[in-house]
Structure 1
Amino acid sequence: MQATYRNFLIRDWQPPDRQAVANHVQSILVEYGLANEPVGADQDVLTVEDSYWAKGGEFWVIETQGRLVGTAGYYPVARGENAVEIRKMYLRSDVRGQGLGRYLLQALEAAIATQGYTQIWIQTASILKEAVQLYERNGYQPSTGIETDRCDRIYVKSLSAQ
Structure 2
Amino acid sequence: MLDRYQNYIIRDWQPDDRIAAAAVIKNALAEYGLGWEPDGADQDVIGVEQYYLARGGEFWVIEDNGTIIGTSAYYPCIFEENCDVKAVEIRKMYLHLKTRGQGLGKYLLGQLERSIFDRGYREIRIETASVLTAAVKLYESSGYRSIPDVETSRCDRAYVKFL
TM over 0.5: yes
1:24 paired with 2:24, answer yes
Amino acid at match of 1:126: S
Match of 2:89 in 1: 85
Amino acid at match of 1:12: D
Deviations 1:69-97 (A, max 9, x none): 10000001133321000000001111011
**Number of residue pairs the alignment of both structures matches:** 159
Match of 1:143 in 2: 147
Deviations 1:107-150 (A, max 9, x none): 00000001100000000000000000000000000001110010
Match of 1:134 in 2: 138
Contiguous gaps of at least 5 residues in structure 2: none
For residue 157 of structure 1, give the secondary structure of its aligned residue in structure 2. Answer: strand
Match of 2:120 in 1: 116
How far, CA to CA, are the matches of 1:17 and 1:127 in structure 2? 27
Deviation at 1:22, TM superposition (A): 1.1
For residue 109 of structure 2, give the secondary structure of its aligned residue in structure 1. Answer: helix
Deviations 1:42-67 (A, max 9, x none): 00001000000000000000011111
How far, CA to CA, are the matches of 1:99 and 1:80 in structure 2? 29
Contiguous gaps of at least 5 residues in structure 1: none
| Alignment counterpart, residue 107 of structure 1, candidates 111, 116, 119 | 111
1:55 paired with 2:55, answer yes
How far, CA to CA, are the matches of 2:119 and 2:4 in structure 1? 21
How far, CA to CA, are the matches of 1:37 and 1:67 in structure 2? 23
Match of 1:70 in 2: 70
Percent of pairs with identical residues = 57
How far, CA to CA, are the matches of 1:76 and 1:44 in structure 2? 13
Q: Which runs of 4+ in 1 moved over 6 A?
A: none
Q: Which moved more, 1:22-31 or 1:115-124?
A: 22-31
How far, CA to CA, are the matches of 2:127 and 2:59 in structure 1? 17
